[in-house]
Structure 1
C-alpha cells in the first residue's frame, strides 16, 4: 500500500516551513541556523508522518474487515482513502473509524514521552518545543476526528452505532447526518459565545461547525440518492454508451478539438460559435496511442485555455490525469460508485471533474463519462417512489 502526497500536502508542508521560520527563533532564541533548519525538517516530516499514520491505521483495519486496499493520499486537510471502503457489517465500520484517532492518540502519547525525556536530559528548549508541537498536532487530530460529524471518524462511529441498532445501513447514515447537524450547530453556538466574551479563536469553532453542517446535509442527500438508485448499475446510467473508438485522442491540440478536427466533439462534427458541442456533452474521456485511458477533459477546462495557446497545448496538458479521477466499470452498482465519488479533489485540475467518473470496459479502455446530471436523472424514479426528503 503506497502513500501519495498531493499538491495540498506539499502546500501544507510549505506553510509548516514558513510557520517554523517565523516562530521557532522567537520561542527558542540564540540557536544556530542549522539547528532551526533541523527542527523545521523534523516538524514537517512529523506532521506528514502523523497524517499518514492516521490513514494507514484506517487502511490496515479496513483490510482486516474485507475492504480492498487503496492508495493512501495525503492532502491539505488530511487523507481520503479510508472514506472509500465499503463494509458488510457495522463492526467493520466502527473499528476502522476508531483506528485513526487511536493511532493519533498513540503518537501524541509517544511524542509527549519523548518531550518529557528531552526536558529531563536537558536537551534544550528547541527540541522540547518541536516535540510539544507534534503532541499538539496529534492531539488535535484525535479530538477533531472524534467529533460526530459527516466526513469525520466520529461521524462514522455514529453511523456504525445507528446501523447496528436499526439494522439498516441507510437509516444509520441518515441518523449520523442529523447528529452531525446538531454537532455543527453546537460548535457554531460555542464559537459565537466565545466571540461574545472576547475570544477571537471562537471563529474557528464556528467555521468548523458550518463545515460539519454542510457535510452532514450532503451525506443525507447522498444516502437518499444511493437508496433511490438501488439495483442500478453504471451501464444503466450512461447517457450515451460509446465504443472505445469514440474516446478522444489525448494528443490532439485544444484548437483542433474545438474546431471539430478528426476526433473532435460529436465524432468530427464542427462546433458552433459558442463552443458548445452538438450533442451537449460537457466531459470527454481521453485515450493514448494504445487506447488506454489518458484522462478526462471538460468544457470548463478548455474554456480556461487562452486562445493564443490552443494551438500549442494538447488535451492531456489541460485535462485531469487518470490518478486524480474516479474510474468505474459498466457493471459497478451506482450506489457504490456514488459513495466513492465523495472525495476531495486531489489537484486543481480535478476540481473541474469532481462528481464525474471515467467509465472503462473490461479491458480498461475508456468508453464514456458519468456526470452529475446522469446520477440525478437515474435517481429520479426511485425518489418519486420513496417520497423521502433529506433532513
Structure 2
C-alpha cells in the first residue's frame, strides 16, 4: 500500500501497535447468528440461558480472531511498518499496514504470525487443561454448563481450527501468503508467487466442497442441507478471492515486464546550437528516431521526431536552427531505462498534464524518449 487507507467505519475499540481496532457493524450480525447456531447445536430448545451460552462462545470465537489479527499487526510493527487498522468483519478480520517496499520475508513472516498466535493460545489452554486443575465436559458446556474448563477446551478447539484453516496454502488464507512469499523468494518474481498461491486457493475451494460432501458419506449418511450450505458458503468466499488475486497478478505481472528501456523510442542528444542538418545526420548515423535538444547548461530542453525535419526544405536544413522543429520538454522529465511497471507508472503520473514525453537515460547518457501513449498501451 502506498497511501494511508480511508478509515473503516465501525465501532472503535482502541489501538494495537499504532493501528485502530475497528469492529464493523456486520460483525454484530454474525455474532447473533453464531449465538443462535451454538445455542441450538445440540438440538435443545432456544431460551435465554442457551442463547447466552451461545453468545459467549461466539464472542470467544471473535476474540480469538482478534488475537490472530493483532499478531499480524505486531509482526508488521516488528518490521517497522506503520499499522493502519485491525478490523473485525462479518467473515473474520483483516489487518492493513504500510506495504511499500515489501519483501518475501516481511510478507511471509507477517502472514505466518496470525496462525502461530492461534497455536500459541491453543497450547496455553492445553497446558492448563493438562495440569488437572480444571474439570471439563465440552458437551455439557454447550448444553448450558459454562465451566471454566469447558471454556478453555472450547478455546483450544477454536484456535486449532482457526490456525489449521488459515494455514492452508492458498489465497486468501495466511498460508497462501506464506506460499506466495516462498515462491517469490525462490524465483524473485512476486507475481509468480501470487499466481501459484491463487491457483492453490482455487484448488482448496473445490476441495472444501468435495470434503463437505464426502465426509457424511464416510459416516454412513447422506449430505444434509447444513453440509451443503457450509460448503457453498466457504466456496463463495474462497473462489472469488483467489480468482481476483489471480487476475491481479496476471495483469501486474505483465506490467512488471514493461521497462522504460523496452517501450522507449531510440533517441540521440544534440546541442541546442546544432543545425537541422546536423541533427538529421547524427540521428541517421545512430539509428535514432527522436532528437533530444540539450541546453547550454547540459540539461534536456526539448525534443522532436527526426521525421519532423522532413518538413524543412533540403536547401535550408544546413542553416535552420533547431528552434524551428523543437518542442519544449519540462526540466526533470526523465526516467531511468531500468524502471519497470508500477514504478514507471508512478513516475510518469507526477508529470501527467505537463508533458507526454520523458527522456530515458542509461549510464548517464540519453538513449531514448518514452511517450505516454506507448507506455499506456504497454501497461494495458
The TM tier, using the shorter chain, reads 0.5 to 0.7
Structure with the bigger percentage of strand: 2
* Structure 1 residue 6, shift from structure 2 partner: 0.4
Does the residue aligned with 2:82 lie in a helix, a strand or coil?
coil
Change (3 A) 1:45 1:110: farther
TM-superposition CA deviations, 1:242-296 (whole Å, max 9, x none): xxxxxxxxxxxxxxxxxxxxxxxxxxxxxxxxxxxxxxxxxxxxxxxxxxxxxxx
State the Cα deviation string for residues 73-109 of structure 1 (Å, max 9, x = none).
1011111224874553211111111110011112223
Task: State the 4+ residue runs in structure 1 displaced beyond 6 angstroms.
Answer: 121-124, 377-380
Question: Is 1:90 the counterpart of 2:104 in the alignment?
Answer: yes
Whole-Å Cα distance in 1 between the matches of residues 84 and 341 of structure 2? 20
Q: After TM superposition, give the deviation of residue 149 of structure 1 in Å.
A: 1.9
Aligned to 2:22, what secondary structure does the other structure show? strand
1:190 CA displacement = 3.0
Classify the secondary structure of the residue corresponding to 2:102: coil
Which structure 1 residue ranges, 5 or more long, are not aligned?
A: 233-332, 337-376, 385-391
- CA contact under 8 A between 2:60 and 2:155: conserved in structure 1? yes
Is the counterpart of residue 63 in structure 1 residue 77 in structure 2? yes
Q: 1:18 maps to which residue?
A: 36
Q: Superposition pairs for residues 121-200 of structure 1, below 5 Å?
A: 126=145, 127=147, 128-194=149-215, 198-200=222-224
1:212 aligns with 2:238: yes
Change (3 A) 1:196 1:227: same
Partner Cα distance (1:51, 1:217) in 2:
24
Q: Distance in 1 between matches of 2:125 and 2:376?
A: 52
Does residue 1:47 correspond to 2:61, yes or no?
Answer: yes
* Match of residue 378 from structure 2: 382
Query: For 1:120, which of 126, 130, 135 is the aligned residue?
Result: 135
Counterpart for residue 222 of structure 1: 248
What does residue 329 of structure 2 align with? none
Q: How many residues align?
A: 240
- How do residues 162-311 of structure 1 correspond to structure 2 at under 5 angstroms? 162-194=183-215, 198-200=222-224, 203=228, 204-205=230-231, 207-209=233-235, 211-227=237-253
Unaligned residue ranges in structure 2 (runs of 5+): 1-18, 259-339, 344-372
TM-score scaled by structure 1? 0.51
Q: Which has the higher Rg, Structure 1 or Structure 2?
A: 2
Q: 1:380 to 1:11 in 2, by over 3 A?
A: farther
Per-residue deviation, residues 104-162 of structure 1 (Å, max 9, x unmatched): 11222333444555643899852143333322321221111111221110110110010
**RMSD across aligned C-alpha pairs, in angstroms?**
4.0
